[in-house]
Structure 1
């Protein structure tokens, strides 16, 4: 399956202008034969850990705009937006199929507390595996990359690839590649990191979107500017990696769960 990471800088707090620009991305991806486009974290507004602007539900302009373009261009899409929730909104990623129908919705579990995202947002409490054209996908968001536990749970769900919309800052790009490759190799799955570009009032972003295969090898890497990065997702490669090197057969989850309760004095 040919997929596309849309590494872009959105228009600050302007979903309308960003979505207008996204039309060209859908057109390009469709002409190139891509089945699925993925955008960075809160791409339509740019990521802000404490913003209370442009909060919307799935009937709002961001999701309905993505659904419209997905159907118009017959391309699936993963986008991210600030979702209405009481008392505080959620940082949510959504997967939409070629017909403009919603496949899955995932809210960021690990809020970025160093940036006080937890002050303004509500953490998610569930995973979001979904199947798109024969490939089993999962969703995570940015800071989630630092927490391998949810990727292990997706592995148990039989996921082939996890898409990670992000606003990963330029100052920590060395961790970006490290975690993407590690999560891919640990779980023998594709990890698709889609990063933002440009400067915002929050931080500076240098793109470098990366896709790693089930062996932890980088198969696609973007530069620092706006770019459409194309790559293939092949579930047969996932199957082969897990069959040829069945490392998860040696997992001892029952033991791990008990170790923290043992008195080691």
Structure 2
């Protein structure tokens, strides 16, 4: 499966323009034989922990627009939106197939409390897992990368690829690579982090989009500019590494909660 990571600047609080930009790059990725394209966290509006405007339902025009783009370009899309819920919106990532069908949805579980996101958004409670071709794929968002148990939960479900849309600022960019590699090596799956680039009213972003293999090595990475990053994900490599170096089997032998 050829995965494309769209390292792009958001269209700040202009989701209509964001959809136009998404369409342009989805078509380009499809023409270059990509099967699936992933966009950064809250790409259509820009990530803002204080702003809940443009919150919409899964049946709304923004998700509908992404579904139309997937069908038109003939490519799977990983997008995100501010999802309406009972009291506060959720920061939600969505996987859409090339036929426009919704494959999975994941709402950010670990909200970025240093920026106040937890004051304005509601945390998710469920994993987001789907099969794309033969590859079992999971979703997480940005700050989630710091929380190893979430990725363990995905490993427990047999996930082979994690896709992580992000708005990871320049001031902490070294940690995006660090945690992407760490989660990949720890749980022996591919981890693809697609990051924002350029200045926004919230912070400055310098890209650093990267894909780590199940051995923890970086397989592809972006620069500090807008660009599309491609990599051919081969889930058989995950199976091989897990079989030949069975870390997880040995991990499961210990009841850590019983340790004193």
Q: If the length of structure 2 is used for normalisation, what is the TM-score?
A: 0.98
Indicate the residue corresponding to 1:180 in structure 2.
180
Any idea what SS the aligned residue of 1:99 has?
coil
Structure 1 position 258, deviation (Å): 2.8
**Are positions 1:242 and 2:236 aligned together?**
no
Any idea what SS the aligned residue of 1:191 has?
strand
Any idea what SS the aligned residue of 1:68 has?
helix
Instruction: Return 5+ residue gaps in structure 1 as ranges.
Output: none
Which whole-Å CA distance do the structure 2 matches of 1:227 and 1:75 have between them?
18
Q: 1:149-203 deviations in whole A, cap 9, x for unaligned? A: 0101101111010000000000001111100000000000000000001111110
Which whole-Å CA distance do the structure 2 matches of 1:97 and 1:22 have between them?
15
Structure 1 moving runs of 4+ over 4 Å? none
Which whole-Å CA distance do the structure 2 matches of 1:125 and 1:253 have between them?
27
Which whole-Å CA distance do the structure 1 matches of 2:26 and 2:142 have between them?
23
Indicate the residue corresponding to 1:17 in structure 2.
17
Which whole-Å CA distance do the structure 2 matches of 1:253 and 1:152 have between them?
15
Any idea what SS the aligned residue of 1:201 has?
coil
The equivalences for 1:26-105 within 5 A come to 26-105=26-105
Q: If the length of structure 1 is used for normalisation, what is the TM-score?
A: 0.96
- Does the aligned pair in 2 maintain the 1:163–1:192 contact within 8 Å? yes
Structure 1 position 254, deviation (Å): 5.9
Any idea what SS the aligned residue of 1:228 has?
strand
Q: 1:48-70 deviations in whole A, cap 9, x for unaligned? A: 00102110111222211110010
Which whole-Å CA distance do the structure 1 matches of 2:165 and 2:253 have between them?
29
> Structure 1 residues 96, 253: CA separation in 2 closer, same or farther (over 3 Å shift)?
farther
- Does the aligned pair in 2 maintain the 1:219–1:231 contact within 8 Å? yes
Structure 1 position 99, deviation (Å): 0.3
Instruction: Return 5+ residue gaps in structure 2 as ranges.
Output: none
Structure 1 position 21, deviation (Å): 1.5
Which whole-Å CA distance do the structure 2 matches of 1:9 and 1:72 have between them?
23
**Are positions 1:115 and 2:115 aligned together?**
yes
Which whole-Å CA distance do the structure 1 matches of 2:190 and 2:253 have between them?
23
Structure 1 position 253, deviation (Å): 6.8
Which whole-Å CA distance do the structure 2 matches of 1:65 and 1:253 have between them?
47
Q: 1:130-159 deviations in whole A, cap 9, x for unaligned? A: 111111000000000000001011011110
Which whole-Å CA distance do the structure 1 matches of 2:35 and 2:253 have between them?
36
Which whole-Å CA distance do the structure 2 matches of 1:255 and 1:23 have between them?
49
**Are positions 1:155 and 2:155 aligned together?**
yes
Please identify, of 191-200 and 18-27, the stretch whose mean Cα deviation from structure 2 is larger. 18-27
Q: Tell me how many residue pairs correspond in the alignment.
A: 260
Please identify, of 151-160 and 18-27, the stretch whose mean Cα deviation from structure 2 is larger. 18-27
Structure 1 position 256, deviation (Å): 1.4
Which whole-Å CA distance do the structure 2 matches of 1:36 and 1:45 have between them?
21
**Are positions 1:257 and 2:240 aligned together?**
no
Structure 1 position 87, deviation (Å): 0.4
